[in-house]
């Protein structure tokens, strides 16, 4: 599907759903909550039951369960890093440097006024509702705070603290590894993250086109639907021509948790011209691996971290939408795909 056709599709969707906006917001919220609860009835667990220690014994006291979860989430990325060697692909063209982070009063005002007020508080207990009620009056203070942080090349220590909420995923509920850590962060910090994220996306995608054309996330006129259409049409054409198509849908194990800060910093500087400072702390433990799930910058940083993955595939094709990854090869037989499976270790293992 061409970008022009995609714009027509979006226009038709707006025309169809536009009249339905007359229904109250509470109606739509209730409707989607009903659907979500029916599909994910076990995701929103309020209480976590007993958890297993490394020796197999059970922890039942809430304070000890909290310490066990915190220790697991702080160390899981480091353990994953010891299990695999992450190699970075060579990039020969030196990228243009990111000169400055832009903090716009107008953009900040829009973000403050559009804050959702139904989300949980961060570790500093600063209310979204309070910031939104302050509106444009608080923008100059935020601009001053953010400029000082950028000038000093440091993040305020309280903004490095996250309140982790373990979300159960599947399988054994006593295993800490079956929970996904969602970070509740300071609201002023997330607003600044959003401004930094806008600058990064503009630098790597809009101004300099530094991201692989096999990565379809964060691009104007690109979508998951377009990628799905592109892939299925490619495969259908190959099959109609009598060729064999082999496809692998890749699910990264603890994708965000396994990101090495050292490798991420190296890739940002080498591949994208971005200089960063390392060091992220949880409330009790130092974290040297992983990107907080729940942060604004997380998906963008993961996309940049994996940007060289498509180039590591020499005997097939690999497309990504953020961390959703599809690898395939086309040939007279599926032998080329077997070769790709044998050589994929250059990046991931």
User: What token pair was written down for 136?
Assistant: 């444009």
Give 203's contacts (C-beta < 8 A, 6+ positions apart).
98, 210, 272, 273, 274
Average pLDDT, the chain: 77
Give 175's contacts (C-beta < 8 A, 6+ positions apart).
51, 52
- Say what the pTM is: 0.68
- Using 50 as the pLDDT threshold, list the residues of the chain that sit under it: 42-45, 85-89, 91-92, 277-284, 345-349
DSSP-H helix ranges across 84-173 = 105-113, 128-134, 139-152
Q: What is the pLDDT of residue 284?
A: 44
User: What token pair was written down for 50?
Assistant: 């007993």
14-48 pLDDT, tens per residue? 776 666 555 556 666 777 777 766 665 544 445 77
Dmax (CA) for the chain in angstroms is: 66
Angstrom distance (rounded) from CA 166 to CA 170: 12
Angstrom distance (rounded) from CA 203 to CA 214: 18
Q: What is the pLDDT of residue 2?
A: 65
Angstrom distance (rounded) from CA 119 to CA 67: 24
Q: What is the pLDDT of residue 137?
A: 92
């Amino acid at each position: 599907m061409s970008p022009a056709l995609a714009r027509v599709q979006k226009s038709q969707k707006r025309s169809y759903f536009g009249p339905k906006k007359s229904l109250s917001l509470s109606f739509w919220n209730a409707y989607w909550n009903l659907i979500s609860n029916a599909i994910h009835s076990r995701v929103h667990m309020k209480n976590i039951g007993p958890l297993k220690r490394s020796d197999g014994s059970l922890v039942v006291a809430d304070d000890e369960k909290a310490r066990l979860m915190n220790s697991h989430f702080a160390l899981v990325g480091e353990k994953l890093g010891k299990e695999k060697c992450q190699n970075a692909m060579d990039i020969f063209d030196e990228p243009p440097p990111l000169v400055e982070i832009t903090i716009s009063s107008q953009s900040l005002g829009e973000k403050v006024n559009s804050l959702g007020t139904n989300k949980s508080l961060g570790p500093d207990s600063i209310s979204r509702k309070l910031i939104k009620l302050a509106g444009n009056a608080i923008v100059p203070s935020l601009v001053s705070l953010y400029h000082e942080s950028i000038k000093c090349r440091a993040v305020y220590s309280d903004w490095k603290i996250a309140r982790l909420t373990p979300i159960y995923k599947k399988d054994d509920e006593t295993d800490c590894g079956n929970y996904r850590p969602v970070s509740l962060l300071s609201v002023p910090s997330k607003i600044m993250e959003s401004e930094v994220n806008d600058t990064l996306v503009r630098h790597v995608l809009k101004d300099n086109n530094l991201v692989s054309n096999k990565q379809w996330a964060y691009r104007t006129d690109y979508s998951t639907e377009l990628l799905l259409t592109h892939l299925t049409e490619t495969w259908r054409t190959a099959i109609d021509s009598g060729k064999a198509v082999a496809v692998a849908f890749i699910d990264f194990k603890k994708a965000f948790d396994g990101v090495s800060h050292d490798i991420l910093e190296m890739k940002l500087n080498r591949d994208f011209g971005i200089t960063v400072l390392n060091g992220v702390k949880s409330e009790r433990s130092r974290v040297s691996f992983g990107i907080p799930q729940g942060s604004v910058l997380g998906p963008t940083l993961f996309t940049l971290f994996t940007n060289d993955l498509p180039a590591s595939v020499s005997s097939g094709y690999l497309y990504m939408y953020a961390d959703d990854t599809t690898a395939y090869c086309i040939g007279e037989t599926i032998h080329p795909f077997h070769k790709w499976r044998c050589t994929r270790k250059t990046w991931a293992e």
